[in-house]
Structure 1
């Protein structure tokens, strides 16, 4: 678990630390027109790779695949530190994204192998604490590296941490017995290509329709191919499982509704005159609320089941949406912090319960891919939500009307998420 936590801390810090240092990196390397792609290459690749990695771990075991992810991430970090042009950085960030995509599902997968359902809430809370720690450490480390050494150290710092994670992983005794089978390579390629095309519609500015059409056609071909494969990379019977597909759909809709708010709340606070540091502190409210419900949620699922808790989580999400609609110019920091706490309670309940359900409601040899698909649903929903919110914000008459439209979208979308959760009421 120490190995897993360090790997998770490295991956989460890398996501946040580059946000604060990227303007300086772009200024030194040039190619500012490629600025957004330094984030997009990492996001697209890591999102696509995660479910594939989960499935391969079902076939070949957790330890080896997780170690491969750490090594690829280490290599990508080293290459990013050597980058001399923006194009090189984008390509090397994609390598990092492959490693991160392989690593991301394993905290939940391995904890699912090691701990019974009633104890997994505590473990999930511990993982959430790592995200909170990275949110605090990353901006400070980024500022220190830029001021006293070079931005390249935001990538080099990953190397010793990855090595420590690998060394600690040696002690892990595999408890899952893999069901070995031939890897569905073509299915993995089709899945990656189709999802990548759809995700690129959120970052490209021209020919968006062409990317969308290509993505749909490729994924349809993927579906036809997977129906005939004896060991598909994404088992289609997962979608026939009403409980699993319902949890994935609800996670997608909840993330598309309001998970992206965390990307825009700091901007709102900065418009109100708060510093970069203070605006970042508001996001700690999400981590606080998340941990409060994550710790006991494992026991709650044993006592009350999955459906009721996910419905309660969605009701809390709507409450946070109502509170966001009441935001106006001059709203204080502590009100916004309290909104983030309520949102943390909502997502902490929805995600922890859905993660436990995605592991308990499938066979052992599908636990990895099922957990990864739950994570995949959240990532896709977040990408959609952030894009739609950004469009509302930029098209407003002024920044505050843009924020109001953004929050109105989130509130309405959270009502749709709540409606979807009632499919799970008997689970």
Structure 2
């Protein structure tokens, strides 16, 4: 290239030069060009914009990290890596180049903790911290106390003795704990009055009910995998979403206890996961039927006998997971009892098929459902076949929209339980 032309090009405003990168497909080619001249580097930064707002180190070549951090540091708000060695380098580069970083998702081990915490101390703006360990001993508290803006904390695989001291972080608004042992929810979180969301994958519930002050007055979202419960849950006045994974013998009525009548006026979303069908499910279905304020219900291993108890006028969305004993007739009964239902996912119900469509449309007309607010029915394509296409194009069926489930697992004999509480299960090799 003629050097005079090159000189003319770099004399253009970086804003104009940034348009060059729109025509370069490969990220590696963009980075190579950006490193040839400071002006082209500035243009790259403009083009990148918010692309590196959350920087996933594992998806980028290690050799490109220093340039990306130096060129885009001010726009990088978060850094993430599931690999220990990458995490260490990421923390060091973020501390040097990213004055506005707020989020940090990293994997750590005790032998590297001294290096990591030295740089964490310089990340005072961090308000969202996610740490993934492998039960190696790490003393977290001193470092966490040095992060005054910390509002969201997610911890995976920490020893109990290292985990329990975080109860002193009373400013936390969102807390996620993943462990293989039962965490006493009250002992860990009782003083965290600012909590708005709490997720514990393996929880033990033993809460003194004589407390006069309400626990967690701001808590809106509670997601827990219950290992055992010695007491019922108290009424949480702001709770809107309750997600529970429980053993087959657990009864929802015992968990909610004397607060069922209060929750019937406030709880808007309920999600229940269980591994198998038991007679207890009938009692749980009866309890669900008392929660009159529910707008969203996600549950597994239901059958015809249980669904008959669910008649809720406010209910707008239902997802039935791994419910292979549910039939067409019970889906119709559910719809009759929930006149405002507008989203129904039966892709986990292998016995529900296209024969349900005609009577279902009749019920929708009886409920005065309008074409601008139809029922969206999500189905297993193998059970509905051409009904998915014909209903979508038939003007006589405009009260119902049938769509194929995006979950590929639905095409298998049984649908898998959703694992929303899980942080990625990573082996040591991943780190």
TM range (shorter): under 0.3
TM-score if structure 2 supplies the norm length? 0.22
TM-score if structure 1 supplies the norm length? 0.22
By relative contact order (CA 8 Å, sep 6+), the higher-ranking structure is 1
